[in-house]
A and B are shown apart, each in its own frame.
Chain A
């Protein structure tokens, strides 16, 4: 049974991939394909959050930071590609003679941009994680710190309108690595890349979860001190998961840009970072599919209900969140197991003598 389980999950990924890459392009309109692409980007971020938070116990409330690194790297490249030899339009708006800021220059190169999307989050999360985990910063402190970073980065971008586009963000991309973005065929291509990357991320965590590392990560989450006394450094274990989750957030951010066509600080700040977590919590943070499906569901709610009935959507999301936290701490993906367990044993098992004895012992000492 336990031997079989990983292979069932692999089959699940196969079905998921078939639906996303095979069925969706045939049955969905261009508009919905584009939306689905956006959900895929959030789902990629969510898979990483599931790894860091669900399996690793690190409440990453600031994934917007890494989302931003990928998104802005991509957006700068696409902006430059669109501008061609000229200075990007928004910069000329403020100062017709403004030179291109030095940090923009390397993003002309497609290779550099792709490398940056991968390396920037790895370097930043590596340094950050090392500093925090070695100092044994965890729990609420870690969550607040990561959230504060997202706020800080969003504020920084807002306040540097001449260099980064500020609150208006970067938009109006015409090309994506040589492809004209207006062309529906190319939009489909971009969607397929995002969906494909989501499948790759799922496969990566699938292998990670069934490897010894996955077991060690869960062990570190549940009893960090015990892991330390078995001769491991829990900081290193957490660091690997944290860096991987940052990389996924960056990839999600990078694909978000050509699909949605605009990136602003609002997509990376506190509210956006929390929304990324919300989907993961709804779906089930420690499960394989829960984070991705949860994020897609929240994304769908956000873009359909959220635009037609914004007030109602906020309440619905809040209510859903409370219900899940109260009754389904392991998210919606734990529902089937709950039902199965409820059918097998309707009443909770009586306390075992050993447990009772332990309680007695506790009273006595």
Chain B
């Protein structure tokens, strides 16, 4: 199961006549941090919505030999596909532990719902350590920092034991240090899982992507390694010519050395 790949072919999504995604194909394999980038409105989130059953789509999205399109949401979840949302959506009034406990609940019998939780699941402890949230165990999720909320979402996917993690802008609003930590976290968890990251931040993509697909107006503009994509004149045109200009300009200015300076002291 873990070495199955996510293969999306000719994905189409229409919203009452408007083609949000028009024939997108890409694949993602375990062991790589796969990026899906593109300016706002390119159709990145819609791709994830289609794969997870939130939006109706045609074409194909397969995990191994399972077709995902047309499968109801809860079955897609049971196949081991987890996602985050563009706006961090954690349960604000519940503590970090309670959030994770709910995520872990899928594997428990329903009768356990009527009882009170005793102790902390080992899977939850592991996820807390992995995401550096151990100290926040009893903190209500609503008062976590923006970055911590996104880590909590990733931790929820980990306790859910997701084989495929579809992350929608996981570093939006994070400080440089937090971005680095998140990137390293993604590299660690990608070792045994499929990780697909939607981003429009080019700098983050450059530092942590193995392979990249660039979307523009619902179509694949370019695909390949970071270097290949960056050298593609079509990509440069889209990013320099339109709304993405600021992001790309920023990316050009940030040299690798700055990124290196932000590596955290530990490990």
Contact = CB atoms under 8 A, between A and B. Distances in A.
A211 to B, nearest CB: 5
B91 A222 contact: yes
B85 interface: yes
Contact of A212 (B90, B95, B115, B145): B115
Interface in B98-117: 98-99, 101-103, 105-106, 112-117
Interface in B147-178: 147, 156, 160, 172-175, 178
B262 to A, nearest CB: 15
Given A215-B98, A230-B102, A355 B146 contact: yes
A6 B116 CA distance: 11
Contacts of B101: 212, 215
Contact of A223 (B78, B89, B246, B247): B89
B91 A219 contact: yes
A232 B106 contact: yes
Given A211-B115, A212-B105, A231-B77, A354 B82 contact: no
Contacts of A215: 94, 98, 101-102
B116 A232 contact: no
B44 to A, nearest CB: 12
Given A225-B85, A230-B106, A364-B247, A216 B160 contact: no
A365 B44 CA distance: 14
Interface string A204-248: 000100111101101100110111111111000000000000000
B247 to A, nearest CB: 7
A229 B112 CA distance: 20
A219 B94 contact: yes
B40 interface: yes
Contacts of B103: 230
Contacts of B40: 365
Given A213-B113, A215-B101, A230-B77, A358 B85 contact: no
A308 interface: no
Given A358-B146, A365-B40, A226 B89 contact: yes
A225 B246 CA distance: 33
Contacts of A231: 74, 77-78, 106, 160
Contacts of B91: 218-219, 222-223, 226
A2 B95 CA distance: 10
Contact of A213 (B114, B138, B178): B114
Contacts of B116: 6, 210-212
A353 B177 CA distance: 13
A181 B146 CA distance: 62
A119 B239 CA distance: 64
Most buried by B among A222, A230, A233, A364: A230
Contact of A216 (B52, B102, B178): B102
A29 interface: no
9 contacts: A6-B116, A228-B74, A230-B77, A233-B74, A352-B145, A354-B147, A354-B174, A354-B178, A359-B173
